[in-house]
Structure formats: C-alpha cells, structure tokens
Amino acid sequence: MTLKENKFSNIESSLNLGPSLSDSMFAAFSDFIYKHTGIVMRDNKKTLLSNRLRKRLKILKFNSYEQYWTLLQDTVKNKDEMYHFLDVVSTNETYFQRGTSHYEITKRHLLPSFIKDHKQHVNIWSAGSSTGEEPYDIAIFMNEFIEKNPFVQFSILATDLSQEVLEVAKKGEYADRKISKLSIEQRNKYFDKINPENSSLSFAREVLRVKPVLKKNLRFHHHNLIKDPYHTGMDIIFCRNVMIYFDRETQKNIVNKFARALNNNGYLFIGHSETLQLVEVNVNPVRFPEGTVYQKKNE
C-alpha cells in the first residue's frame, strides 16, 4: 500500500479531483452502508463518502461511482471488495489513553467488586477496537492489576468491522500523536522503541511497538455488531465512540445484545460524548464520581 492509499496517514483530501457522486448514487451507497454496518451516512457526509470511495475507484481504475456500485452489488462473489468497502467507510480515529476516566472506574470500582465476589477470571470485550489502542490500554491496566492480584486471570477480546484496522492492531506499531498521552513509565514497561525505518510507519518521528506481554491475553477478531452472533460470558464491554455512528433503533438492539453477552452484574462503557436512550434497554446507569457505566439488569 502506498502512502497516499493509507487512510491512517490523514491525507484523504489529496483525492479531490475526479468523478462526482450524484445525489441518487449517494443515497444508494448510504442505504447499502446502513444495511451492512448500521452506520448512518447523513447528507452532510457526502463529500467525506465520495472522497473515501474515490480511493477504491482509483485502485480499481474505475472512472465512475456507478461502475463501483455495480461491482459491489454481488457481495457474495465480491467478498474481498466488501472488506475493502467496509475499510473505507468506517471512521477509525483513536489513540492511547483516550477517555481514561473509564479505566479509573474499572480499576477503582469494578475490579475490586469482582475480587469481593471471588471472581477468578475477568473477560473483557473491546467492541469497535479500531487499530488496537483501546484494547492495549486495557491490557496495560489489567497487567498492573494482576501484579497486585496474581490469583486473577483475564482475557481481552478486541473486535472490529474493518479488517484493515485489525491488521494494524495485530502489528502493534504506533507513532507520534497516537502515543503522545502514554506516560514515560508505560512506554518503558510495555513498549519497545524502534527505528521508524524498520517499521510500517517509516514517515513517523517516533515509533513504539507493543511488547509481547500486552498481547498475551488479547485476541483480535473480525466482528460486525449488526450482523454477527455475539460472544458471551463477558464481565466488561467497552464499546466507545462507536454508537455515535448508529441510529437509536440500532443502538437499542446493540445494547440489548451486549446485555445478553454480559454475565450477571456485568458492565458496559460507551463513549463520553455518547448517550443512551434508557427506554427498552436491559442495562441501568451506575454513576461514580469519575463517570457513568451501564450495568446489566439481572435476569
């Protein structure tokens, strides 16, 4: 992949010339995206969507969106293109130590309550994990936790719709802005500093690679929140900055599927800027000084 094609290099706008996306084609792509991902593309996202799709047009040497639309229609035959399509339509912005009050709630309140209940294994799901910063952050505080509580074990499942971000996450190499909030101690203990030239991020000033200890209890899987069966037996689910892309009905369905995926008394975090309509959902808000978490209503 060249630098220009890499959406993590933040130069989407370099592709502003070329065919234009008609209103009817935009409507058709928006419906398709909603059907396959739950993501709502409002009218003000037309330029964003046309720029992103144009990357595929360029790679496939197509000169119209209609041509690409025809290719996408046979999603069974064009499974690979469907993966590329999901990669370009999803928004994957994330970084280390984002929304740390949720980590504080987990460390100060949730994990101690599990210990009190003699829980020996904690199952955590990072749903919509993007390029991996969130699940590696979770692995950092869980490693700290088990140093003090060695009788506890944990597993982290990290899932996303986009194969491309999962590949980045598995590689575990991060640069510049993404790592700027990590403390010196976290950097030294959990990352190796590597020469950018020897990494997938040769354009970066500074590159850190996660140490194997952070990968030990962590697995990355492809999972579409609106189409695939949910994993069960979870104690905590982080689904942050994902709900914002869905409409209320989809949010309600996803929250109720999360509730079924959680063990009794299990917890769900959503993003700081996200709100849940608390009608017909099987979770209750629990407020701590650091913020709010949603707890499964017991069956």
Active site residues: 52, 160
Q: Which of residues 94-123 bind ligand SAM (CB under 6 A)?
A: 94, 98
By CB under 6 A, the count of residues binding ligand SAM is: 26
Q: Strand pairing of 234-239 and 121-127?
A: parallel
* 132: contact with ligand SAM by CB under 6 A: no
**Which residue from 26, 29, 65, 128 is in contact with ligand SAM, where contact means CB under 6 A?**
128
Stretch that binds ligand SAM, among 73-81, 107-115, 167-175, 219-227 (CB under 6 A): 219-227
For residues 263 to 282, the per-residue mask of contacts with ligand SAM, x marking binding by CB under 6 A and - elsewhere, is --------x-----------
**Which residue from 30, 90, 106, 123 is in contact with ligand SAM, where contact means CB under 6 A?**
90
* 134: contact with ligand SAM by CB under 6 A: yes
Among residues 214, 262, 265, the alpha carbon closest in space to that of 238 is found at: 262
CB of 281 to ligand SAM, least distance (A): 18
d(C-alpha 172, C-alpha 194), whole Å: 12
Q: Can you give the binding site for ligand SAM, defined by CB under 6 A?
A: 37-39, 90-94, 98, 128-130, 134, 160-162, 165, 223-226, 240-242, 245, 271
